[in-house]
Amino acid sequence: MQDKSLLYPCESSARRVVSLDGMWRFAFDPQGQGVDKGWTMALPESITMPVPASFCDFFTDKDSREYCGDFWYETDFFVPGEWEGKDIAVRFGSVTHHARIFVNGVEVTAHEGGFLPFDAAVTDIVRYNQHNHLAVLANNELNETMLPAGRTTTLSNGKKMAMPYFDFYNYAGIHRPVKLMALPKERVLDFSVVHSLSGTDADVAYTVTTNGDHAVCVDVYDGAEKVAHADGKSGTLHIENVRLWNVHAAYLYSFVIRITDGETVVDEYHEKIGIRTFEIKDGNFLLNGKAVYLRGFGKHEDADIRGRGLDLATVKRDYELMKWIGANCFRTSHYPYAEELYQMADEEGFLVIDEVPAVGFMESTMNFLSASQGNGKKVGWFEKETTPQLLENHKAALIDMINRDKNHASVIAWSILNEPQCTSEGTEAYFKTLFDLAHEIDPQKRPRTYAIVMMSLPNNSKGQQFADFISLNRYYGWYVMGGMNIVDAEAAFRREMDGWSMALHGRPMIFTEYGADTMPSEHKLPSVMWSQEYQNEYLDMNHAVFDSYDFVKGELVWNFADFQTTEGIMRVNGNKKGIFTRQRQPKDAAFHFRARWTSLPVDYKADK
């Protein structure tokens, strides 16, 4: 099966999907000897390991938790005899960061990048009505051509250690569901939709890509009722009296795409789709033509025990908390999340800024601090020997992210980088390639942005002209002039904002990060930094600044919940800027946000 497809697996009259999630077997391979020793067929010694999950936090010894290098997963899967004649594939939601896949000892595919799905075609290798062997050789080392970027060092005891240039734990493993699929030989590989509204009706321009020549048709159902039909690989679906998808008021139609050969259905693919428009106009974000002020979070896929592994229970709790607090938006900082999260956003009416894992583009483990304090090495990140390879990997991740997520009503914008070092000459060429690419491949032409690091100002950030809206990560009152200095922080913040007002040229600005580390255990009157009282004072100051600039059209606080990072003097067993704890209970600031976000009008500052 050569035909790449990023469609989410679905069952239909023509397709079968079986989950391979469960307890697999696992082994570390510090010498990288597994392939030579035949581990592709069977692991000689293994332990049990749940899939999906990060392997790290199950262990009770530090060497295992912090393990860096090659590691193996294996399981068996049964292929039903009635699937003969179909194309068979194993689909991984993600494996972090590199993966080589072996079925019955034969290498079937390899994949770079830990946050996007890939398929392994196994039709010619599987044995029918029998169990087959599946082995995954993965690796979690970091380097500077990767997304996210970092490096790998070797300790004096010979063990490798990951050195992330980013502020989240380098969790690794099979993080997302694994599925066995039986697909028709001639099938739908991809499809896209672009919505436009006229009066009470909608037109959905669609394109379907298949690997054959048989006829294609698309039906749209509202519950059991068929509301639109069109023939051909591209066309327009007209929906009368359309019920639009909206914030906190989602509505999804069922799209069914069929390939037919006379009366025979060759393939059938289903997806639920919300109909809405999204654009930037006159400095506002317009959803279905109406202004919306963004409020919400930068998040992480991060939780106790399972690390970054998909856990639907945590996903559900997170959405309940986001509804309770009055949020309407989040950024998938700092990587594309599991597909199930976007499906939930579509169901629940949340707006998503989708971020590619371009983080750590600066030579320092604490890149965001070094940059803001001028300690970042002065080597331009985009003029290094590694830059051409990095750009290729960045393009590949961007293409897969957009192709994977382009039909979600919830996805309103693409975030193309987080806090790159963007003051050197190579920045513009690098940025232009990626911003142009995003526009070229997204049929809906969603706005593009990137999160701009502290001290990257309109006059020294070389890439900001490519952004359709400006996204700032700012920590005035935390990293910059915290505690008693907060008065000076506010003055400096306002000076910076005055500067931006001259550089926006009609574009809206949002905050993609602002926040203060806060220990849920600490209370102090009057406040000190790290106390819950200080978190609220910090937020009051920041919100006062946002409220006095009409071009600020959104606020995504850092972070939704406390999350794990690499250990170090800046972090208390992780980053504590959560508005909720890692266990998803509120800090005092959560009530502060609930009061603010539930009272700000949906279209706050729309007429300004």
Beta-strand runs (E) in 392-468 = 411-418, 448-452
Comparison of 92 and 335: residue with beta carbon closer to ligand EVA: 335
Comparison of 394 and 474: residue with beta carbon closer to ligand EVA: 474
Q: How far is the CB of 536 from ligand EVA (least distance, A)?
A: 18
Considering only residues 92 through 151, tell me which ones interact with ligand EVA, judged by CB under 6 A: none
Q: Which amino acid is residue 337, in one-letter code?
A: Y
Mode of pairing for the β-strands spanning 552-558 and 509-513 = parallel
- Of 339, 468, 513, 555, the residue at the interface with ligand EVA (CB under 6 A) is 513
Residue 440 is among the residues annotated as catalytic for this protein: no
Helix H or strand E segment including 136: strand 130-139
488, HSE (Cβ side, Cα atoms, 13 Å) = 8
Q: Which of 268, 419, 425, 555 is catalytic?
A: 419
Residue 419 is among the residues annotated as catalytic for this protein: yes
Considering only residues 419 through 448, tell me which ones interact with ligand EVA, judged by CB under 6 A: 419
Q: How far is the CB of 59 from ligand EVA (least distance, A)?
A: 24
Distance CA(563)–CA(495), nearest Å, equals: 32
Q: How far is the CB of 420 from ligand EVA (least distance, A)?
A: 11
Q: How far is the CB of 497 from ligand EVA (least distance, A)?
A: 18
Comparison of 14 and 579: residue with beta carbon closer to ligand EVA: 579
Considering only residues 456 through 485, tell me which ones interact with ligand EVA, judged by CB under 6 A: 473
- The backbone torsions φ and ψ at residue 312, rounded to the nearest 5 degrees and listed phi first, read -65, -25
Comparison of 237 and 359: residue with beta carbon closer to ligand EVA: 359
Q: How many CB atoms lie within 10 A of CB 170?
A: 27
446, HSE (Cβ side, Cα atoms, 13 Å) = 29
Q: How far is the CB of 104 from ligand EVA (least distance, A)?
A: 41
Comparison of 102 and 558: residue with beta carbon closer to ligand EVA: 558
Residues 515 and 580: beta-carbon distance below 8 Å: no
Comparison of 578 and 586: residue with beta carbon closer to ligand EVA: 578
Residues 437 and 395: beta-carbon distance below 8 Å: yes
Comparison of 98 and 300: residue with beta carbon closer to ligand EVA: 300
Q: How far is the CB of 369 from ligand EVA (least distance, A)?
A: 7
318 token code pair: 């997170």
Q: How far is the CB of 570 from ligand EVA (least distance, A)?
A: 8
* 582 near ligand EVA (CB under 6 A): no
Distance CA(105)–CA(42), nearest Å, equals: 8
Distance CA(605)–CA(589), nearest Å, equals: 23
DSSP per position, 327-394 = --EEE-TTS---HHHHHHHHHHT-EEEEE-S-B--SSSTTHHHHHHHT-S-SS-GGGSTTHHHHHHHH
CA 50 to chain centre: 22
Comparison of 275 and 579: residue with beta carbon closer to ligand EVA: 579
Distance CA(210)–CA(261), nearest Å, equals: 14
- Of 14, 575, 580, 606, the residue at the interface with ligand EVA (CB under 6 A) is 575
Q: How far is the CB of 162 from ligand EVA (least distance, A)?
A: 16
Comparison of 292 and 561: residue with beta carbon closer to ligand EVA: 561
Distance CA(298)–CA(377), nearest Å, equals: 27
Considering only residues 204 through 223, tell me which ones interact with ligand EVA, judged by CB under 6 A: none
List residues bridging with 256 in a β-sheet.
219, 270
Task: Supply angle C-alpha 112, 113, 119, rounded to 5.
Answer: 65
Q: How far is the CB of 593 from ligand EVA (least distance, A)?
A: 17
Q: Which of 513, 522, 537, 555 is catalytic?
A: 513
Distance CA(285)–CA(551), nearest Å, equals: 11
DSSP per position, 101-124 = EEETTEEEEEEE-SSS-EEEE-TT
* 558 near ligand EVA (CB under 6 A): yes
**Token pair 């919940």 is at which residue?**
561
- Of 21, 57, 167, 555, the residue at the interface with ligand EVA (CB under 6 A) is 167
Helix axes 588-599, 532-547, angle to 10 degrees: 20
591 token code pair: 């009530």
- Cα dihedral: 7, 8, 12, 16 (round 10): 100
Comparison of 414 and 558: residue with beta carbon closer to ligand EVA: 558
Q: How far is the CB of 209 from ligand EVA (least distance, A)?
A: 36
**Token pair 């690796």 is at which residue?**
139
Kindly report the three-state secondary structure assignment for every residue of 168-233: CCCCCEECCCEEEEEECCCCEEEEEEEEEEECCEEEEEEEEEECCCCEEEEEEEECCEEEEEEECC
- Of 577, 582, 587, 605, the residue at the interface with ligand EVA (CB under 6 A) is 577
* 365 near ligand EVA (CB under 6 A): no
* 418 near ligand EVA (CB under 6 A): yes
Mode of pairing for the β-strands spanning 284-287 and 509-513 = unpaired
Q: How far is the CB of 516 from ligand EVA (least distance, A)?
A: 9
Considering only residues 7 through 26, tell me which ones interact with ligand EVA, judged by CB under 6 A: none
Comparison of 117 and 296: residue with beta carbon closer to ligand EVA: 296
* 415 near ligand EVA (CB under 6 A): no
Residue facing ligand EVA at closest CB distance: 368
Considering only residues 368 through 407, tell me which ones interact with ligand EVA, judged by CB under 6 A: 368
- The backbone torsions φ and ψ at residue 274, rounded to the nearest 5 degrees and listed phi first, read -90, 140
Instruction: Please give the positions annotated as active site.
Output: 419, 513
Footprint on this chain of ligand EVA (rule: CB under 6 A): 167, 334, 368, 418-419, 473, 513, 558, 575, 577
